[in-house]
Chain A
């Protein structure tokens, strides 16, 4: 075990897999010599050589398209899109190609590919460095979508993603890279070195894709969250004193319905929190699934707390961000409903 930031844990996962498996290659914009703008690949080129870890031209469609070719060859590329907001030029490659190779070729060609991308706001990144496009991926058949919330999970899930035989979108909440963030932007941040989940097993270890984690047990209401919102929800529960059960989904697709359903059947109430915009967000899918499975146990309407349906603003970052006050109000309303 070692104390790590999320950046170090992600790097460690790639390091472990590059050492174990020669088929693993890493590339993207500024990823090689410099080690990535968030430093997630620092030192990998030095250690594994520049044909295993290298800089790519600024062309996201090219990065993903080339990686699909490599994956179909038999490599296991783990590539970086510098910000999830830059993913759109590659969307056709992800949706029409990576996600469908196995299906359309009846298994002759497959795409064991991981596309890593920093996601979410809270860093004053404005509309081009803050988005949470997870619903654009969960809507696509053939993809898996993972959103870790801490160094421990990030490492175990990333290794599992690299080993997965199908394409995995790996969204890294950038506001969590250096420490858990509960939405209180005016308070000093806790570094991962002071958090239990900054404790990361050394060497090879995996967490299964499709397994959620109950980060806080409770009886009054179930909160479904992922990424940064896991900590916001925890702060909201503590501050309102509501006995909330908080589930960190970890993987959005495949989704751990068993854990979700067991919890909502127990609490009878459900609040869904995500940073992405509301309309057609992943929360809509969660709400539909929960009511389908738990309708007769529900004692209150399912509530969503999300980013507003606007582009991610700059100056108004904290008006947009669904912080602990908004989540807390939703908890109170839902429990009192």
Chain B
């Protein structure tokens, strides 16, 4: 006979489900400018609170305030906004193209554009990102040709990856963009290994690892933190917390940990949280973390607090698992609108110029799309040859594959 009360299992639930009123009262948002900016050689122990706060630069009236402000010129900010607008327009066009049957699948960045676009600016040539499928801003902001991206999405005759990969799983060594796996979290530890290699060779290049909130639950995430911490690898460990892993809210991966950034504390890794919808804050924190890595001070964990305003991919409908109006209620706003308001306040931008820029960008994207489509789309026009399927499995084709290629008659 036991006198113990029966146990019960705790299964976390999001604050609201479809039909309810959006509620982000659990997202504690400090004032812009409130979080201090430590020296890059700070003792991780002394900045533990940065893993529970949110570094913000742009305040509600559009001013850049506090110790993380003032790093970018007007020209750089305008360029940054163009990158974000380009990415958003690119996404919109590719989403429509997917709906039109021109490709099988697409994943957009809506609401998360600031993170990859601003982060790219903090890196140097030769550095390497190990991205997920929602960091195409790293390519856009580095000037990778949009036509090539579209050819990849269409798996057409000019697809740089010869039709071997799902849409949006880009690869560009030249632009510091590691081939995207599509399996989750596997690349987090690879980024750490790549950074270790740079240190082993006494080079100066650093790596950036990328993961989403949901995938931090994967064992490979923890492997990466162990290795990064043990060998003080020159790597920036990025977590994009966009609140949703397909239909699963972030609480299922986060569990009892207060924040995702707090995961780094037990590893002795400086861990920061930043407003992911604030281009200036993302850049400032990225630069801080990149400098730490570059100066051989080791890894930094950065959690970008943001919101996935769109669906996970073209294969899900968010209204089935969260309130339809939730994205409007997101308290950190929209990254493009916030940067636009800041630039207008600085007197270097206006609503007219913004509209004009939108129109120009749309023209550019449409022109790129026309060109890409002239090389084919998934089911029409030019496409990679069946022969391409057999190439590149090994550096040199082994006899059994040669036989199979002959059997296939290609």
Q: Mark A83-126, 1 if CB is under 8 A from B, else 0.
A: 00000010011001100011111111110000000000000000
Chain B residue at smallest Cβ distance from A68: B190
B197 A141 Cβ-Cβ under 8 A: no
A69 B186 Cβ-Cβ under 8 A: no
Chain B residue at smallest Cβ distance from A97: B186
B400 A69 Cβ-Cβ under 8 A: no
In addition to A142-B393, A255-B400, 18 A-B residue pairs with Cβ atoms within 8 Å of each other are A65-B188, A65-B190, A67-B193, A68-B193, A73-B197, A75-B200, A92-B220, A93-B186, A96-B186, A97-B186, A102-B392, A104-B164, A104-B171, A105-B161, A105-B171, A105-B173, A253-B398, A254-B398
Task: Give Cα A25–Cα B194 distance, bound, in whole angstroms.
Answer: 13
B195 A57 Cβ-Cβ under 8 A: no
B189 A66 Cβ-Cβ under 8 A: yes
Closest beta carbon of chain A to B224's beta carbon, Å: 7
Q: Mark B202-239, 1 if CB is under 8 A from A, else 0.
A: 00000100000000000110111011001000000000
**Which of B6-14, B99-107, B175-183, B301-309 lies at the binding interface?**
B175-183
Contacts of A69 on B, CB cut-off 8 Å? 130, 189-197, 207
Instruction: List the 7 closest A-B pairs by CB distance, nearest first.
Output: A69-B193, A66-B193, A62-B223, A65-B189, A105-B179, A73-B197, A69-B194
**Is there a chain A Cβ closer than 8 Å to B296's Cβ?**
no
B195 A254 Cβ-Cβ under 8 A: no
B179 A101 Cβ-Cβ under 8 A: yes
Task: Give Cα A101–Cα B190 distance, bound, in whole angstroms.
Answer: 12
Binding site for A on B (CB under 8 A): 128, 130, 160-162, 164-165, 169, 171-173, 178-179, 181, 183, 186-201, 207, 219-220, 222-224, 226-227, 230, 392-395, 398-400
- A/B interface sample: 10 pairs, CB < 8 A: A59-B222, A62-B223, A68-B193, A69-B191, A69-B193, A92-B183, A93-B186, A103-B393, A106-B161, A106-B164
**Is there a chain B Cβ closer than 8 Å to A257's Cβ?**
yes
Chain B residue at smallest Cβ distance from A166: B394
Contacts of B173 on A, CB cut-off 8 Å? 105, 108-109
Task: Give Cα A21–Cα B67 distance, bound, in whole angstroms.
Answer: 47
Contacts of A109 on B, CB cut-off 8 Å? 171, 173, 178-179
A57 B227 Cβ-Cβ under 8 A: yes
Contacts of A141 on B, CB cut-off 8 Å? 393
**Is there a chain B Cβ closer than 8 Å to A74's Cβ?**
yes
A102 B395 Cβ-Cβ under 8 A: yes
Task: Give Cα A59–Cα B189 distance, bound, in whole angstroms.
Answer: 11
Most buried by B among A59, A69, A255: A69
A61 B394 Cβ-Cβ under 8 A: no
**Is there a chain B Cβ closer than 8 Å to A210's Cβ?**
yes
Task: Give Cα A28–Cα B134 distance, bound, in whole angstroms.
Answer: 33
- For chains A and B in complex, what number of residue pairs have CB atoms within 8 angstroms? 139
Contacts of B178 on A, CB cut-off 8 Å? 72, 109
Task: Give Cα A111–Cα B165 distance, bound, in whole angstroms.
Answer: 18
Task: Give Cα A298–Cα B25 distance, bound, in whole angstroms.
Answer: 76
Chain B residue at smallest Cβ distance from A99: B393
Task: Give Cα A57–Cα B400 distance, bound, in whole angstroms.
Answer: 38
Closest beta carbon of chain B to A247's beta carbon, Å: 17
Task: Give Cα A25–Cα B193 distance, bound, in whole angstroms.
Answer: 12
**Is there a chain B Cβ closer than 8 Å to A165's Cβ?**
yes
Chain B residue at smallest Cβ distance from A27: B196
Contact among B172, B223, B394, B398 for A65, CB-based, below 8 A? B223
Closest beta carbon of chain A to B352's beta carbon, Å: 42
**Is there a chain B Cβ closer than 8 Å to A52's Cβ?**
yes
Given A73-B194, A73-B197: A142 and B394 interface contact (C-beta under 8 Å): yes
B194 A70 Cβ-Cβ under 8 A: yes
A66 B227 Cβ-Cβ under 8 A: yes
Task: Give Cα A257–Cα B401 distance, bound, in whole angstroms.
Answer: 13
Task: Give Cα A92–Cα B188 distance, bound, in whole angstroms.
Answer: 13
Contact among A52, A59, A110 for B223, CB-based, below 8 A? A59
Closest beta carbon of chain A to B109's beta carbon, Å: 22
Contact among B189, B200, B392 for A52, CB-based, below 8 A? B200
Contacts of A127 on B, CB cut-off 8 Å? none
**Is there a chain B Cβ closer than 8 Å to A51's Cβ?**
yes
Given A65-B190, A104-B161: A70 and B196 interface contact (C-beta under 8 Å): yes
Contacts of A59 on B, CB cut-off 8 Å? 222-223, 226-227
Contacts of A257 on B, CB cut-off 8 Å? 399-400
Closest beta carbon of chain B to A74's beta carbon, Å: 7
Closest beta carbon of chain B to A266's beta carbon, Å: 20
Task: Give Cα A65–Cα B400 distance, bound, in whole angstroms.
Answer: 28
Chain A residue at smallest Cβ distance from B193: A69
Given A66-B227, A69-B192: A96 and B181 interface contact (C-beta under 8 Å): yes
Chain A residue at smallest Cβ distance from B389: A103
Contacts of B198 on A, CB cut-off 8 Å? 73
Contact among A56, A93, A107, A255 for B392, CB-based, below 8 A? A107
Contacts of A110 on B, CB cut-off 8 Å? 395
Closest beta carbon of chain A to B71's beta carbon, Å: 29
Contacts of A56 on B, CB cut-off 8 Å? 227
Contacts of A101 on B, CB cut-off 8 Å? 179
Chain B residue at smallest Cβ distance from A51: B200
Task: Give Cα A110–Cα B188 distance, bound, in whole angstroms.
Answer: 17
A103 B392 Cβ-Cβ under 8 A: yes
Contacts of B183 on A, CB cut-off 8 Å? 92, 96-97
Task: Give Cα A165–Cα B398 distance, bound, in whole angstroms.
Answer: 13
Q: Mark A41-79, 1 if CB is under 8 A from B, else 0.
A: 000000000011000110101100111111011110000
Most buried by B among A165, A254, A255: A254
Closest beta carbon of chain A to B190's beta carbon, Å: 4
B220 A61 Cβ-Cβ under 8 A: yes
Contacts of A61 on B, CB cut-off 8 Å? 189, 219-220, 223
Most buried by A among B164, B169, B193, B199: B193
Closest beta carbon of chain B to A108's beta carbon, Å: 5
Most buried by B among A61, A73, A110: A73
Task: Give Cα A66–Cα B394 distance, bound, in whole angstroms.
Answer: 21
Contacts of B160 on A, CB cut-off 8 Å? 106
B395 A66 Cβ-Cβ under 8 A: no
Given A65-B220, A142-B394, A254-B399: A106 and B186 interface contact (C-beta under 8 Å): no
Closest beta carbon of chain A to B59's beta carbon, Å: 39
Most buried by B among A61, A65, A68, A110: A65
Contacts of B196 on A, CB cut-off 8 Å? 66, 69-70
Contacts of B128 on A, CB cut-off 8 Å? 73
